[in-house]
Structures are given as structure tokens and as C-alpha cells.
A and B are shown apart, each in its own frame.
Chain A
């Protein structure tokens, strides 16, 4: 056999979060708990297909007039319009002024990638790969890869998490924005920051927006948890809408993986807000070209489910109820975990567990303590100390709390 051209291809390290789940699956210990990958679980520790999704899927299955034809390149029109409306609000001035655009994408990741590819080609000049891209420290680890693979050469971090005080390093963040070259791109988490669960307050967002406006920085929002974070769609979209009201042109990558529980259907949307309709049209026409060489046109099943749900007042209300169910369970787990740790007298302060928001919590556990949790207690969490609150149940809360207590007291 001829020598292979791929002889030199090195084995890449596995993506950490999936390796964690793989290890969890292989673990035979009955006490095991998976606090790794970011997907919602019920109190029985099971995945949850939203009741409204089941209902709508049945409607779709029963509708014999539907087929599997290609969607348009930019996606299902009813999905796009509704998805952007959810992010920007029914009364959004940008929608009224017809200066928004939408690109149905393969999940939040796909939306980020289309946005990144567009920015690399058309933002701050033509094909300017040198435009700095700022990602929060820490952030979802895939943010970095998205922008690198889109061609950006200068990826930087901005201060975000203050480990000492276990909260937002606002001053560090604002300083970074002051020092950033004009026109730099900033990836902002719209709500429920991943992995820290720590969001700026409205007042802090106002300060951030003021600096960004003054320094001509581009806001690229990542909105993966709208509704899921607080239980309120409006509250979770406050930052995005505030920026729009301040006159920014911006991108918002939306994911419906968590708030619709449609993880494997890859339902996402890139919302574009521009100065006027003409600019938005041209932007969309170029995004269409990018989509065409990436996936041609997006998958139809998930978009149909979301579009059907959002465009029916009754189904929308049902969905809202389902979202609140998930958000409320997470909030309950937060308060239950915190109270147990405080009752156990676990060294340190634990109010951050309830002050943080969304699926994730940055516990503050260090890598050695994390290793202890995994190896000795069979509790799987990320090396960063990030836990998925959804992995907690009324049945495992005690065990997890005790284990954290052990890890913190035994390991430094």
C-alpha cells in the first residue's frame, strides 16, 4: 500500500466537555453525577423534551401537506422573523424601522460562525484578519476556535471573572475596552455567562455600552439562554435591547438548543441590526454567500417546531411555561446547594451559587479539587470548576454538597 498522505496527521486531543461525558458514561459507580455538559435535566436526571415540542412535533407529523424540500439559503422565513422578534422584543424600534436581518443557522455555534466569517470579510475594511477580537476570560471554549477558524489572527481576552471576589471584574473589563483598538470586536454574553454564570447588572451594562460607543467597538452578542436564565424572555434580552436602543449596529447569535430543548436539531439564528434596511440587505446578501459554501441551506425540522410555537399565542404561552419550569428548577437547585454548603460550614463563601444565573456555576474549585471530585467521588465537572446546575437533583444534592465540602477541606 502506498504511503499515506495522512501519515503525519497528529491525533487531536478530544474536546474536553465531551470527553467528560464519555468518561462519565464508562464509570460504573452508582453514585456518579454528571455536572459537565450543558444540557437540561429533570429532577430524575433525565433529558426533557418540552411538552410543547412534543405537541408541535405531532402536529408536524400529522400534517401531510408538509414535505422535506430545501429551505431557502437564509432559512425558514417564519422562523427567522419570529426568532429575531424574540431577541429584540415585539416593540423593537429596529424591527419597526425595518433595519434587522436574520440568518437561520445550525445552532448558536453556526450563527457565531456565519457572523464571524462575515466580519472577517467585510468589517473594518475588506478581509481585515487583523481586527482584534475580544473574548471574555473565561468564556465558552469554542468561541476562540470559531473566530480563529473564521480567519481572525488577533484574538484577545478581556477581563471578566474575578476569582478572588468570585464576581465580575467590571473595572478590568472597562479598562480593556478603553485600551482596545478602535473597531475591535467584543463577544458579549447576553445573559447567563458561560461558564461563570455571572452577568453585568443593567447599570454595569450601561457603563459597558457607553465605553463601546465612544470607542467604536463592535458588539457581537451570544444569546444561548434567553428565557432559560431568569424565566423571563424580556429580562434575559435586556442587554441586547439596550444596545439596540442606544443605536448600535450589532450581531446577536441566538441558540434555541436550551430554551426549546432542541439540542440535536441545531436551531439557531443570527440577528443582524443595522443602521437602515439598505445596509442590512447588502449584509444579508453576503451572508447568503457564506452560508451557501458552509451548509447551503439549514435543516428544516427544528426551525419548523420553533416557528410554529412562536407564531401561535397559545403555543407560545405553553412554551413560556415550559421555559419557566426549567428556569425555576435551576433556581431551586442553586438555593438548595448553597444552603447545604452553608449548613455544612464548608470553608469559603457560597452566595455566588445563588447570585450567579443560568445553567452554570463557577464553583471556585481548583483543578486539584476537581480531580478529587471526579476520581474519588465520581462527580464529573469541568477542570475550571464549572458545574451544570441541571445535573443536580433532589436525590444527589446531599452527596454533591458533602463531596464539595470534602474536596475543599481535604485538598488545597
Chain B
């Protein structure tokens, strides 16, 4: 008999399931709109030129492979903080922050979650927007925290339920933790406008909430890194000492290299040192110290003026292609003769789009047209190309007319 006889089979990952089914499909017109990774206009993965150049620099330097410090590559951590906060940020210049390298977005979120579990004694509750990235819930739960929600997405309008969100946030018990998507909300693509962010900042300040920003798409959303970090920077300027997780998976295409960072804005540099020491204590028994490759690539790009310029151009071109696909999808739907209002497709931002399609319609798209997406009607716009946007519009019109 086995120790594991009672171990249940884990539920299949819904998104993986989409990709598996897509792979099995033999229809030449098939489209995978489940994938959460950027694709170029030929539907291929895109390795940024600035990444290739950074890799060439690394290869030429013939560096050793010694362990990184527990907190990771210092140049990378510092450049990440500057990227998020802005070089003119008082918090950045005063040094009242700590940034550690994390295992992309997930690893950085998890470090933060574990840190909160251990040191944030005011509350065990993390408030997530409804809906949020599917992995947020299990991350916080496994860290030992509890999950609550605030209204966010309005399925009737396929946009932000701002009054619902403000109403819910106004009732969150003081000193709870609230998670906000800095830009390009996943999965809806619905972001608050700046005036709305201002009201939310005032409310979380009033409720004395700990703000946890998840920023996985800086630069990738609007094409402008400063614009995409606006909310994070505004909150900090308002005196809200946020904590922040960053990912370079999408904006630098470094997915499998796991480059990310976790930041805590503190009262002063001394507090930052204490917090840093505790973060190391958390990280060491998880994986000892982080992987170098992705962080080094990102660091070289951010810290080399020419490469940084090139990166800004490339990330903008990725964002622009996504925006262009949104525009083309809407215009194609109109051409198909659809009478529905598809404005939300271009109002939304980032990799994902909540189409508003119902499960039955999604089912038809999969079965009749070999167009794969998750049941909630979320599509990855990255999977749309100028070659297949017409087909997509046609199919969507067929199932919604």
C-alpha cells in the first residue's frame, strides 16, 4: 500500500486545458486566445531585440555563476524600484524602500503574502477585485491569509463598476489589505481612469488600508511606462506606503526566466533595512536565492541608456499591436454587421479582454470555429493577428447575432 492512496487528483488547470484542447485540434484556422503570452503578428513568440543584445553582452563578459545574495541582483532591484516609482520619486531618492528580486510576478506576490502573514498583525484579510487573476486567491491562501472581495467589473457594461467598488471599499474594515492591479487588469482589461484612481486613493487612505499593488504590465498596457505606473506613484505621493510586486515576464518577454521584484515603501531607510532583513529570512527557506539570468538581462537593459531606449520602443510596439488588434476587431465586427456595442473591446487595455461572451457562446466558438478561450469569455488579444482578426470577428458575430 502507498502513503499516497488518499491523495486526490488535483483539479486540471482551466487555462492549461484550453491550450491542450487547442493543440489537439486539427482545424487549420484554429486560434488560441487563452495564452497569456505576447505573440507577434505572425502568431509567434517574440524575443525582444534589446533582450538579445543584453544576452550578447552577458555572453561576452564570461561571468561566473556564484550565488546571488538572498535579495537578488542589487542593480536589478534598484533599477526595478526606479522603474516603478520614477527617478524623481521622493520615496526612491530618500531610500525609504526595500526592493528584493522575486521569481517573476508570482514569486514576488508570494514573498509579500508571506511577509504580511508574518508581520501584518492588524488583519488576515486580503481584498481582491471581483474578478481577479485566478492565481491570486491560492497564493494568499497558501500564505495563510483570507480572501475577501470588492466589486470591480460590471458585466452589464463590460467596464468598471466604480460606484460598486467605492461602496465596497468604503466598508472594508480598517487596516485590512487591499490588492489593486496597477494597470491592465487581469482578466478584464478594465482600468480605472485617473480621476477614479484619485478617489480610490482618498478612500483607502480614509479606511487606513494596506495597499498591495500588482504591476505585471508596466509599459505593456499603454505603451508608456510612466503612464502605466501612474496609479502606484500617485498613491505613494499621497502618503500611502504601498507594497508592490513587479513582473518582467510580459514587458520584456522574459517569461521563463522569472524576473520580478517585490518592494515595500517604508517610513524611512532604517525601517527599510529591518524589513529587508525579514524578507531574507522568508526567502531563504523557499529557494535560498533567486535565479540570475532573467534579472541580469533586465538589469543590463534598464541600466544601459541605449538598450533602455530600445526597450521603450519595443514595449510600445507590443502595446501598439495589441491596441491595433482591438481596433481591428471592433471594426471587423461592425463590417460583419454586428449590432452589439463592442466599445468595451477598445476601452479595455492590456493583454486581456473580457468580451462579454456567455459560456454557451464560448462553447460554440470552440466547437464550431476552433477558437479557444476560457469559459468566462476572456480572450488574450495577444493571440489575435491581422491574419486572423477577420475570422475571429466573423465567428463572434455568428454566435452573438
Per-position binary interface string of chain B over residues 8-47, scored 1 when its CB falls under 8 Å from any chain A CB and 0 otherwise? 1110010000000000000000000000010000000101
Given A12-B277, A274-B4, are A293 and B110 neighbors across the interface (CB < 8 Å)? yes
B159 in the interface (beta carbon within 8 A): no
B contact residues around A148 at 8 Å (CB): 285
**With a CB–CB cut-off of 8 A, which chain B residues contact A28?**
none
Chain B residues whose CB sits within 8 angstroms of the CB of A124 once the complex forms: 3
Within 8 A of A (CB), among B230-269: 239, 241, 249, 253-258, 264, 266-267
Restricting to A258-281, which residues have a CB under 8 Å from any CB of B? 261-266, 274-276, 279-281
Q: How many A-B pairs with Cβ below 8 Å?
A: 233
Q: Bound complex: CA of A359 vs CA of B273, how far in Å? A: 33
Q: Which residues of B contact A197 (CB under 8 A)?
A: none
Residues of A near B330 (CB, < 8 A) are: none
> For residue A116, which residue of chain B has the nearest CB?
B285
* B256/A265 in contact, CB under 8 A: no
Say yes or no: A142-B8 contact (C-beta < 8 A), given A67-B45, A293-B142, A299-B294: no
Q: Can you give 17 contacting A-B residue pairs, CB < 8 Å?
A: A4-B271, A6-B267, A12-B278, A15-B280, A47-B66, A71-B256, A106-B103, A113-B287, A261-B65, A264-B67, A264-B68, A266-B289, A275-B2, A293-B138, A295-B107, A295-B258, A296-B106
A340–chain B nearest beta-carbon distance, Å: 28
Q: Quick check: is B284 within 8 A (CB to CB) of the other chain?
A: yes
Taking a contact as CB atoms under 8 Å apart, the answer to whether B122 and A5 are in contact is yes
| Contact among A8, A288, A292, A298 for B135, CB-based, below 8 A | A292
Chain B nearest Cβ from A180, distance in angstroms? 16
Q: Count B-side interface residues using an 8 Å CB cutoff.
A: 77
Given A61-B59, A299-B294, are A68 and B256 neighbors across the interface (CB < 8 Å)?
yes
Cα–Cα, bound, A37→B67 (Å) = 10
Q: Is the CB of B278 within 8 A of A9?
A: yes
**A123 at the A/B interface (Cβ < 8 Å)?**
yes
Nearest CB in chain B: distance from A39 CB, A: 6
Known: A122-B7, A297-B256. A67 touches B287 (CB 8 A): no
Q: Does B135 lie within 8 Å of A106, measured CB to CB?
A: no
User: Which interface residue of B122, B256, B273 has the most chain A CB atoms within 10 A?
Assistant: B256
- Contacts A282-B4, A286-B7 given; does A6 touch B271 at CB 8 Å: yes
Tell me the A282-307 residues at the B interface (CB within 8 Å). Answer: 282-283, 285-286, 288-290, 292-302
Q: Are A70 and B286 in contact, CB atoms less than 8 angstroms apart?
A: no
Minimum CB–CB distance for A187 against chain B, Å? 13
Looking at the complex, which one of B4, B45, B254, B285 makes contact with A279 (CB distance below 8 Å)? B4
**Beta-carbon contact of A5 and B142 below 8 Å:** no
Asked if A266 contacts B291 (CB within 8 A), the reply is yes
Q: How far is the CB of B51 from chain A (nearest CB, A)?
A: 7
- Interface residue B84 (Cβ < 8 Å from any Cβ of A): no
Q: Are the C-beta atoms of A109 and B291 separated by less than 8 Å?
A: no
- Complex interface: chain B residues within 8 A of A3 (CB): 267
B302 at the interface (CB under 8 A from A): no
Is there contact, CB below 8 Å, between A4 and B266?
yes
User: Quick check: A9 and B8 within 8 Å, CB to CB?
Assistant: no
Whether a CB of chain B sits under 8 angstroms from the CB of A146 is yes
The residues of A that contact B288 with a CB separation of less than 8 Å are: 106-107, 109-110, 142, 266
Cross-chain contact A302 with B291 (CB below 8 angstroms) = yes
A219 to chain B, nearest CB (A): 11
Distance of A2 Cα from B277 Cα, bound (Å): 23
With CB as the reference atom, state the residue of chain B lying closest to A218. B3
Given known A279-B5, A286-B8, contact A299–B68 (CB-CB < 8 A)? no
Residue among A18, A292, A298 making CB contact with B258, cutoff 8 Å? A298
Contact indicator B291/A301 (Cβ below 8 Å): yes
Q: In the complex, are the beta carbons of B65 and A264 less than 8 A apart?
A: yes
Contacts of B249 in A (CB 8 A): 70
CB contact list, B89-110 vs A, under 8 A: 103-107, 110
Chain B 206-222 residues near chain A, CB threshold 8 A: 208, 210
Docked Cα-Cα span, A161 to B78, in Å, equals 43
Residue of A at shortest CB range from B51? A68
Q: Please give me the residue from chain B that is nearest to A110 by CB atom.
A: B287
Q: Restricting to A105-156, which residues have a CB under 8 Å from any CB of B?
A: 105-107, 109-110, 113, 122-124, 126, 142, 145-146, 148-149
B275 at the interface (CB under 8 A from A): yes
A249 to B4, CA, bound (A): 9
Q: Which of B271-315 contact A (CB under 8 A)?
A: 271, 273-275, 277-278, 280-282, 284-294
A12 touches B256 (CB 8 A): no
- Which of B66, B249, B266 is most buried by chain A, counting CB atoms within 10 A of its CB? B66
Tell me the minimal C-beta distance from B2 to chain A in angstroms: 4
B291 touches A49 (CB 8 A): no
Answer whether A6 and B264 are a contact pair too, CB < 8 Å, given A293-B135, A293-B138.
Answer: yes
- List B contacts of A298 (CB < 8 A): 258
**CB of B173 within 8 Å of the partner chain:** no
Chain A residues positioned under 8 Å from B273 (CB to CB): 11
**Interface membership of A58, Cβ < 8 A:** yes
Whether B291 lies near A146 (C-beta < 8 A) is no
B285's contact among A13, A126, A145, A293, by CB below 8 Å, is which? A145
B70 lies within 8 A of chain A by Cβ? yes
Asked whether A61 lies within 8 Å of B55 as measured between CB atoms, the reply is yes
Chain B residues contacting A57 (CB-CB under 8 Å) are: 59
- A239-264 CB mask vs B (1 if < 8 Å, else 0) is 00000000001000000010001111
User: A49: which B residues are within 8 A, CB to CB?
Assistant: 62, 64-65
